[in-house]
Every structure is written in structure tokens, then in C-alpha cells.
Structure 1
Amino acid sequence: MYKENFRIIILFITFLILIPSSLMGQERKKEVKKQNPLQQEYKIAQSYENIGEHKKALDIYRRLHKADPESPLYFNGMKRTMIFLKMYPELVNLLESRLKTKQDINLMGDLADAYYRWGKIDKAKELWNKIIETFPQKDFSYLYVSNLMVQNRLFEEAINLLLEGRKTLKNDKLFITNLGYLYYYRRDFKSATKEYIKLIKINPRLFNTVNKYLNRFPDDSTTFKEVLPVLIENIDREPGNPSYRRLIINLYMKHKKYEQAFNQYKILDNILNAKGKEILRFADMTLNEKEYKIAEEIYRYFINKYPSHKQIPKARFGLAYCYENIDNVPDDNKKMTPGYIKAIEEYKLVAEEAPESILKAEALYRIGEINFLKLFDLDNAINYYNLIVKQFQNTYICLTAFLRLGDVFIAKGDLENAMLNFNRVKNADKKSGKDLPGKARLKLAELEFFKGRIDSSLQICNNLLDEIPKNSDIYNDLLEFTLFLEDNKGINNNLINNYARAEFL
């Protein structure tokens, strides 16, 4: 009996709770139905506008504006659709009516724009002048009107207006970026440069901004001839200003006039009392651009001018790399010799001058590469790679040398020693080895293929494919080799083994 009464009480309480909530739900539905009809119509007008039914949208916007003349949403809707439908007389009436109750620079601008689109150019100009006279924030007024002119593609008029504003307000620092952009758009790069360079005069820290603007200019010879005199003029006026030197250097570099850039770098280095730092920076820059001839000249200049500089080994390494990539260079007897022979001489000097530096390891590695790939002196290559392995253990370049030793032993036909070196890299810590363990495993898969062990090679490849990311340096090579193995898996073993041996040889 007690349980039955308790159940009835619970049901009654639940009923009391549910009735108000259901009534509230019904009330919400009524509220939705009673939603502001103007808002619903506004959404319909927007939908018409979005599908290109501008006349239908305008009819609704008119009704809405009449119902609520103060709403900016309805007013702007009318304005937009009238512009699209080119109903300029009616648009002018709408804007003039609005201006009677509210003096606003945007409304005046819209009215001037409507007159201009309508063809009433004198009236538009009259309004533009009125904007400048009416609003006390003069510089903003000039900018605002110039933007209206730009919107109507009146670029020359916009330029003249800003120049007039600068003169009227007696402030040559006004509208610099605006005028620079307009000159740039008009392809008057000389005038654009004159404007942008004023930013450095105002604040030298804006050098990067100015350089970015100038880098947007085309790299044709006509533009070069327009910009160069402006930079030279500023340098002549302030020869000790490093920013102007950097701008002209960047211009020369952009147009691959490296000798002229080099001359400016020498001056810049003196201005900054950089003691060769700027020269070496320029040498590295041209090396990265693979301009080996000019880079060689700059490195030699640095080495001869600053023989006791702490960066001599680095400069010598750069010089050696230039030699390595130049076909023939003169030796001490003025005879032409292959560049890589001269490179070895310089790399050896680097190793002597920086005995404990990683730069020595890199120099030894380059000598090993030249012996392996250029001179085909495999034993000498092994000697230099081994020097790295002994002195620079547990480094990335040590693992790189092990990997290369494996390649050299393959070239010698010694697959066992090749496998030994690849395994050293394969088992290396991934943090220090980065991508090298994966490369070593691919090499081991190739060794298995050379030995005719196709299934073993394929297993290594498939395991590696599951582990390395697709953006890895070796992914494409690995995938190609794996597909090759898969395609030839069913071929007669003797045939594929013979092919593998032929590939190895």
C-alpha cells in the first residue's frame, strides 16, 4: 500500500513539472511565429539579392525603409540595389534626402559617387571639394576623397589631390604609402621609389618595409633604369647612410649585377666598421645563388684582406666549394686545372685551420666526395670518410660518412663491408640520425636485391613503408623500388637474379 501511494505521488510531481515546460514550448513556438515581420522580409530581400533578383529585392527594401526610415540596414539595401540597377537619379534623391537630416562624410561621398556614375562629373567634383572644406580632419578628408577617386579609376586625379593636400597642409610626410601605391599602380616606379624612400628618412627602422615595396617592382631593365638614379641621388646626398646602400645592393642583386653589388658591399662594410662581416655575408649570399664565379672572387678578397679573421676557415670552405663547382681554375703557376683539384687544396687548409671544428669534418667529407665521385679514387675516399668516423663519433656527419662508406664498398664489390656500414647507420639513434637510418635500410634492401634475395628485400621495403612519413626524402625512391620488386616477384628466379647481379655490376 505504501509503495502504491509513493508511485502516485511521484507521477503527480512529474506531471506538475512537465505541464509548465510543455506550455513554455508552446509559448516559444508562438514567439517564433510572432517574430518581427520586418526582419523576415529583410531576409527575403537578401535572398533575392544573392540570387541576382535585384528589382524584387529593391521593392522589399523600399517597403522596409518606409516602415523604418532610421534603419541603416534597409537604407544600405536600397543603396546597393540602386547602384547595381544603375538607378542613379533615384539614388541621388535618396542620399540627398538623408543628408538633410544627417551631415555625414560617408553620405556625401556616396552622393558624389552617385553623381559621378550618373555622368554628372562637375557635381561630383563639387561635392569632393565640399567634403575637404567641411570636415576639419583635413588629412583624413584628402585620403577619403582620393579613395573615392581611385574607386572610379581616377588615379591621376587622386595623385594630384594628395599632392595638393600635402602642399596645403604644409606636411611633406603625409600620404607617402598612398602616393607610393598609386605611382606603383600607374607604373611610375621612379616616383614610387621617391615616395617610399621617404619612410627611411622618417624612421630608419622601416628599411624592411621599404625594401619589400621595392621588391614588388618588376625586374625588367626599364624599371631598373627608373629606380637606380633615385637611389644614387640619395646615396650622393647621404653617403654614410647604410640603408640607402642596402637598397641599391638589393636592386643590383635582383638584376644580377653582382660586381656593382660587390663594390657597394665594400663601402657598406667600411661604413659599419664591420671588419669583413658584410663582405662574407655577401659571399655566402652569392654562393647560395649558385653564382660561383663571383662568390669565388668575393671569398678570395675576404681571405686576402682579413687573413687573421676568425671566419677564415668558413670563407675558405666557401671558396673550396666554389672551386668544386667551377670547371677550370688557375693554379699557382697560372695554369688551368680542374676546379675540384684546387678545391681539395682549400679543404685541406680548412681542416688544418679548424682542427676541432665540425667544419673540419665537412671539409674532409667534401674531399671524400671528390675522390669518390670525381677522381674515382675509392681507397682515398675511404681514408677521408674514416677520418670523420674516428674524430667525430656520434654526430650526424659521422653517420653520413658511414652511409657513404657503404656506397664506396659497393663500388668496390665488397658487399659485406657495405652491409656493415649500413647497419651502423640503421641502428643509430633517430634523434641524431634523423632521416639517415631510413636511407640505410633502403640501401640494405638494395643489397639484398643485389644478392638475389628478392623476398628479403621486399620485406625490408614494406616494413620501411609502414614506418616513414610520406614527406620523407626517400619515400618516392622507396616506393618505386618496392613496386619494382612487387612487379617482378613472380618472374623466374634465375632471370631476376641475373638481372640483380647485372645491376650490381
Structure 2
Amino acid sequence: MTKNKIFILTLLFLLASTITAQNNLLDNRLRLAQSYEEAGQLDKAEAILRELQNSYPENYTYFDAYTKILIKQKKYTEATQLIEKRISLTPQDINLFGLLGSVYFMADNVSKAYDAWERGLRVSPNLIIAYRVMANYAIESRAFEKAIDILQRGKKISNDQELFSIDLINIYLANMRYKDAGNEICDLIIKNPEQISNIKARINFYSDNKDAINQFITSIENKIKDNPKPALYDMLAYYYSLIGKYDYAFQRLIEYENKINGNGNTIISFANNAYQNKVYDVALKAYDYLIKNSNNKQLLPLWRFYYASSLEMLFESTIKSENELWKPYNNFNLIKEEKLRDVINSYESIIKDYPENSLTPQILFRMAEIYFNRVGNYQKAESLYTLINLRASNTEFSVLAFLQKGKISILNNQLEDAKSYYEKVLINNRSNLNHQSEANYYLGKINFWSGNFTDAIKYLSETTKILSNDFANDALELISLINFSKSDSLNLIKYAAADLMLYQKKFREAAREFKDLSNTQTFSLISEYAKYKLAETLIAMNDLPTSIEVLEELAESSKTGIFSDKSLFLLGKIYHFGIKDKTKAVSIYQKLLEKFPNSLYFEQVREYLNELQTNNG
């Protein structure tokens, strides 16, 4: 290597080292300014950044930092002057015009702000992105009218108007201009029906705003008069569904399907939605339409099942008040089979026409439940449950059938048969944790009723291993009663016998035994349990005045505290659902919340209070 080459390399190395050192020095100065800014010493930060900006006017990082520190101190004149200088260096940078307009807007100089944004648009009047950029600066400044103006102008010259429509819809919605949003939505989905799913998801946010939805409906109804495109009918049906006008929605979907010669997919979705929202009368119409009009024969059994199920649920809703489901134990009148014949026939016809269908176990179970819970024909119900065990032994419905057969056996006082059914549930590989918890609970109860208290605790303890299941709390209470009352075994056996009578709906006999136990002179845990059970039994017998007396006394005088909040909760429900004295119910519920903020019934009571206060305006 020659001496000249060595000299040149050395010189380059020294030059590179000098540049690196200088850059490090500048970076350190910038970091120092940022530290001053974070510490709130804005004047010191500004001085350093001014020096860097003046020394290196082409460096965007220094420009950006200096501009922000000026804006932070509300030195808007200096900031606009700085931005104008930057524009003179890079006049094609449209973001600078957007920033300039934003600073003028902060300074309350609206006309200059608008002028700056217009200057940005004039840089490249046919550059579509410029309109969106300027509109975004206007939106960030909350200059919404200007943003709308810019977007509308951009939309007119754009070949891709979709993006502008979406921006306009968002800004209209944000400013509660629902009519304008509705018109823009119409334009968008007419041009691009594929956007319907996105629009539905966006509009769903306004589902509780009936004023907004009604304005959307008005916009789309007016648009349909001039331009009856199929997509508008689909969107209109969705709007009507959001405000609960399912009949209107259904009619619009039929028009939509007719216009597109559709295969019924939108009707399927609508029918399922109506069913899930418990609008069973409309769900019935929708499933009936599918049954009669669809060519999809594979789904026909499923639609017929949902038709029958809708028919059943519609019937259930008509007798809801008769069932008095709020009561711990029901004694409502069983329904004559003739009244349920249409429902039963609908289910039976599916099995007849599709005997090998996968829905058969579920259909048999629904029929069995009707005979068990509504007609009170235990023999017919049990035969259907048994049919499920034989024909669908490897399904969950077989497990459910064993659980229900166990209840029928208890009602018929066949406790050993009931035990065998629940034991089958425990060994069935289709049983889930909830099924097993229920089976263990009833096995615990059967042993309790039979006086086998040790075995009862064993099964009940299994139930409590999953505290979230429906039986855990009752199991814990019963374990507590057994453990603390073993020394009073005669009264415990008497209580167990009365509890079985109550389950078997022998209310008069149960009431007599519970009353006798509750009148025990010396305090015992059994007497408090018996008093609460007496109240439940009296409610089943519709003797609400006496049950109120019992619960009021128990709520005030419970020595254990176990039944204080529980009694108040049941007392509130008597006034709420039984006597229908809303004022008294509210008073009791509020008392429960105040006295027992950690009560298990806290959330349920809050729901009841919200319901009562909403209904009362």
C-alpha cells in the first residue's frame, strides 16, 4: 500500500469519526431538550430546539420537535411562521398545510385555517389522498363541517368513492347527524352491497338509540322509493329488527329474497335471531316460510324442529303467569293435553318423517318434558325418557333422561329406583360436571330423606366441589344442618320427612310438620330451617299473608343469620310477583342491599330494582 493511499484512508477515518461525534452531540442536545420538556421547563427546551432548527433547517425531526414545543406554549404566531418557512423548502408536502391549518384553528383563526387546508388541496387538486389527509386534520381540530365539505368534494372526483363514504358515515354518526348518515349508508350499499356486513356491525353500536334507528329507517324508506335496490331491503330489515319490529323486518326480507331469487339464507339468519330473542310468533312465520319455500331439503328437519320448538315456547310464554315461576315450589294447575296437541303433533311428525334423524333424541326429550312438566303424565314422560336411553344411549340426552327419571321416581316415592338412575349418571361418560353435580345432590337428598346422614354428607360434599353449579349452595346449607343437628337426630329425621313431602308436593302434610318443628321452645338450627321451609310451603299453597308473617319474624329474629337476607329476598319476591305491591317490594329490596352488601342475592336484587324502577318511570 502506497503512502498516499494510507494518508487518504486515515483522512476518511478521521472525517467519519468527526461526523459521528457531531451527530452524537446533536442527539444529546435533542435528548436534553426532551428532558427539559418532560420536566416542564419549556423555555429551556424551546431555546435548544430553536438553536437546532436554525442550524439545521432541513432536518424534519428538529422542525417537528420545535413546532410542538411552540404549540405547547400556545405560541401560535411563531409556530405558523415556522411552518410557512418549512413549506417554502418543501412546497409539495401537503401534511405541512394540514398542520398549518390545525395551528391556525387552535389560535381561533378559522378563516386562515380553512385557507391553509385549501392551499394543501391546491398543491395537487387531483390527488385523492390529499382530500382525506386534509379532512383528517380538520376532524382532529373538530372542524367537522369543513371536514364534511372536503370529503364530499373528494368523493365527487374519486373513482373509489367507498372510502369517502365510510369517512362521511363515521363523521355524521359522531355528530349525531343520523339522517345524513342514513343517506350516505344507502349510497354506499347501493354501490357496494358487500359493505352491508361492515355497516351492520357499525350500526349495531346504536341499537339502543331508537331515534337514530328511526332516522336510518326514514332515510332508507325514502331511498327505496326512487331506487329499490335489493341491498336496501336487507339493510332495512336489519334496522327494523334492532328496534324490535320483527314483523316489518320479516316482510322486508321476503321482498329482498324475491328480488334476488335467493335461497333463503337471510331468512334462516333472521329466524334464528328472532328465536334467540324470544320473538317466537315471528320465528314461527319465518320457519314456516322456509319449510314451504326453500329447496334445501337437507335442512328441512332442522327447520321443522325449530318451528315446533317456537310453537312450544310461544305456548310457554302464554302460561308464564300461571306457572308462577318465582315460587320456590309450584302448585300450578297442570295443562290438559289437548291444549298442547299442536306442539306434540309437530314434534311427532318430524320423528315419523325422519326416523333416523340426529335430532330425534332432542325431539323425544322435548316431548317428554312437556308430558312431565306441563301435562303431569309421568308414565308417558318416563316411557319417552326410557326410549331415549335405549335409542340414544351415547348422547347427552340420555344423561338428561336419567336425571329426569330420577325426579319422577322421587315424586312416586320410589327412592331406590331414583338412586339407581342418578348412579347411572355418575358412571356415564357423557356426563359433564353439571350433570354429576346434580346427580350427587339428589343422591345426597335421597340419603338425607332416608335418614342416612353420613352418606348424605358424602354425596353433598361432591356437589360443593364446584361452587358455580346450581346445587352447591343448597348442598352447603344441608351439610350445615346435618352437621349441627346430629345430636337432635329425632327432629332431624322429622325435618327430612317433611322436606320429602314438600318435594313430592304434599304441601298440607309438609306444612303441618314444618310448623310443628318451627314451634320448638328451645332454639335449634332445625327450627330456623323449618320456619323458612314453612314459608316456602305456604307460598306454594298461596297463603301469602301467613308466609309474610313467618318471613318477617325470621328476618328479624334469626339467631344464626343464615336466613336474614334469604328471608328478605323471598319476602321481596312475594310483594313483587305475588301481591304485586311494587312500592313495598322496592322498599324490601333496598333494605336487603343496605344490610347485606355481600349477599348471594345482591345482583339478582339489583336487577329486580332496575326492572321495577324502569317500569315505574
Q: Which TM class, normalised by the smaller chain length?
A: 0.7 to 0.9
Which ranges of structure 2 fall in alignment gaps of 5 or more residues?
A: 1-21, 319-335, 502-617
The yes-or-no answer on 1:78 pairing with 2:77 is: no
Provide closer, same or farther for how the CA distance between residues 93 and 280 of structure 1 changes in structure 2, counting only shifts above 3 A: closer
Measure the CA separation in 1 of the matches of 2:317 and 2:140: 60
Measure the CA separation in 2 of the matches of 1:167 and 1:307: 44
The yes-or-no answer on 1:490 pairing with 2:478 is: no
**Corresponding position of 2:83:** 95
**Corresponding position of 2:438:** 439
1:382, distance to aligned residue in structure 2 (A): 0.8
1:21-76 residue CA offsets vs partner (Å, 9 max, x unmatched): xxxxxxxxxxxxx9956545544544554465544544454455466655544433
Q: TM-score, normalised by structure 1?
A: 0.78
**Corresponding position of 2:332:** none
Deviates more, 1:104-113 or 1:140-149: 104-113
The yes-or-no answer on 1:450 pairing with 2:446 is: no
Residues 180 and 195 in structure 1, CA contact (< 8 A), matched pair in contact too: yes
Provide closer, same or farther for how the CA distance between residues 111 and 426 of structure 1 changes in structure 2, counting only shifts above 3 A: same
Provide closer, same or farther for how the CA distance between residues 460 and 58 of structure 1 changes in structure 2, counting only shifts above 3 A: farther
1:421, distance to aligned residue in structure 2 (A): 0.9
**Corresponding position of 1:501:** 497
Q: Which amino acid aligns with 2:313?
A: N
The yes-or-no answer on 1:175 pairing with 2:169 is: no
1:427, distance to aligned residue in structure 2 (A): 0.6
Deviates more, 1:369-378 or 1:456-465: 456-465
The alignment partner of 1:358 has SS state of coil
Residue in structure 1 matching 2:282, options 291, 294, 297? 294
Measure the CA separation in 2 of the matches of 1:459 and 1:37: 78
> How many residues were matched structurally?
460
1:484, distance to aligned residue in structure 2 (A): 4.7
Measure the CA separation in 2 of the matches of 1:275 and 1:94: 64
Measure the CA separation in 1 of the matches of 2:435 and 2:130: 63
1:132, distance to aligned residue in structure 2 (A): 0.9
Residues 190 and 231 in structure 2, CA contact (< 8 A), matched pair in contact too: no
The alignment partner of 2:471 has SS state of helix
Measure the CA separation in 2 of the matches of 1:66 and 1:362: 81
**Corresponding position of 1:163:** 152
Residues 351 and 361 in structure 1, CA contact (< 8 A), matched pair in contact too: no
1:290, distance to aligned residue in structure 2 (A): 0.6
The yes-or-no answer on 1:228 pairing with 2:217 is: yes
**Corresponding position of 1:21:** none
Q: TM-score, normalised by structure 2?
A: 0.65
The alignment partner of 1:489 has SS state of helix
Q: Which amino acid aligns with 1:106?
A: N
Residues 378 and 412 in structure 1, CA contact (< 8 A), matched pair in contact too: no
1:369, distance to aligned residue in structure 2 (A): 1.0
**Corresponding position of 2:106:** 117
Residues 327 and 339 in structure 1, CA contact (< 8 A), matched pair in contact too: no
Measure the CA separation in 2 of the matches of 1:421 and 1:434: 16
Residue in structure 2 matching 1:154, options 143, 149, 153? 143
Residue in structure 1 matching 2:130, options 141, 145, 149? 141
Measure the CA separation in 1 of the matches of 2:23 and 2:123: 43
Residues 441 and 460 in structure 2, CA contact (< 8 A), matched pair in contact too: yes
Q: Which amino acid aligns with 1:379?
A: Q
Residues 116 and 124 in structure 1, CA contact (< 8 A), matched pair in contact too: yes
Sequence identity (%): 26
1:420, distance to aligned residue in structure 2 (A): 0.7
1:154-191 residue CA offsets vs partner (Å, 9 max, x unmatched): 11122122223344568755611112222222322232
The alignment partner of 2:188 has SS state of helix
Measure the CA separation in 2 of the matches of 1:36 and 1:279: 68
Provide closer, same or farther for how the CA distance between residues 141 and 340 of structure 1 changes in structure 2, counting only shifts above 3 A: same
1:398, distance to aligned residue in structure 2 (A): 1.2
Residues 438 and 463 in structure 2, CA contact (< 8 A), matched pair in contact too: no
The yes-or-no answer on 1:243 pairing with 2:231 is: yes
Measure the CA separation in 2 of the matches of 1:245 and 1:407: 50
Pairwise mapping of residues 368-383 of structure 1 onto structure 2 (< 5 A)? 368-383=368-383
1:386, distance to aligned residue in structure 2 (A): 0.8
1:86-128 residue CA offsets vs partner (Å, 9 max, x unmatched): 1112222332333343333222322222223223333323322
Q: Which amino acid aligns with 1:317?
A: F
Deviates more, 1:338-347 or 1:132-141: 338-347
Deviates more, 1:303-312 or 1:434-443: 303-312
1:279, distance to aligned residue in structure 2 (A): 4.5
Residue in structure 2 matching 1:215, options 190, 198, 204? 204
1:401, distance to aligned residue in structure 2 (A): 0.8
**Alignment RMSD (CA, Å):** 3.6
1:250, distance to aligned residue in structure 2 (A): 0.8
Provide closer, same or farther for how the CA distance between residues 130 and 247 of structure 1 changes in structure 2, counting only shifts above 3 A: same
Residues 323 and 329 in structure 1, CA contact (< 8 A), matched pair in contact too: no
Deviates more, 1:38-47 or 1:397-406: 38-47
Measure the CA separation in 1 of the matches of 2:178 and 2:99: 32
**Corresponding position of 1:260:** 248
Q: Which amino acid aligns with 2:458?
A: Q
Measure the CA separation in 2 of the matches of 1:308 and 1:59: 77
The yes-or-no answer on 1:322 pairing with 2:321 is: no
1:381, distance to aligned residue in structure 2 (A): 1.5
**Corresponding position of 2:537:** none
Which ranges of structure 1 fall in alignment gaps of 5 or more residues?
A: 1-33, 331-335
Deviates more, 1:164-173 or 1:449-458: 164-173
**Corresponding position of 1:22:** none
Deviates more, 1:45-54 or 1:86-95: 45-54
Residues 114 and 146 in structure 2, CA contact (< 8 A), matched pair in contact too: no
Measure the CA separation in 2 of the matches of 1:232 and 1:221: 16
Measure the CA separation in 2 of the matches of 1:489 and 1:43: 72
Provide closer, same or farther for how the CA distance between residues 64 and 428 of structure 1 changes in structure 2, counting only shifts above 3 A: farther
Measure the CA separation in 1 of the matches of 2:248 and 2:179: 20
Q: Which amino acid aligns with 1:377?
A: N
The alignment partner of 2:74 has SS state of coil
Measure the CA separation in 2 of the matches of 1:501 and 1:63: 94
Deviates more, 1:276-285 or 1:184-193: 276-285
1:401-433 residue CA offsets vs partner (Å, 9 max, x unmatched): 112111221222222111111111111115x75
Measure the CA separation in 2 of the matches of 1:92 and 1:498: 91
**Corresponding position of 2:347:** 347
Measure the CA separation in 2 of the matches of 1:190 and 1:87: 40
Measure the CA separation in 2 of the matches of 1:52 and 1:350: 77
Residues 385 and 401 in structure 1, CA contact (< 8 A), matched pair in contact too: yes
Pairwise mapping of residues 467-478 of structure 1 onto structure 2 (< 5 A)? 474=469, 477-478=471-472
Provide closer, same or farther for how the CA distance between residues 457 and 71 of structure 1 changes in structure 2, counting only shifts above 3 A: farther
Deviates more, 1:133-142 or 1:68-77: 68-77
Provide closer, same or farther for how the CA distance between residues 123 and 264 of structure 1 changes in structure 2, counting only shifts above 3 A: closer
1:305, distance to aligned residue in structure 2 (A): 6.2
The alignment partner of 1:187 has SS state of coil
1:235, distance to aligned residue in structure 2 (A): 4.2
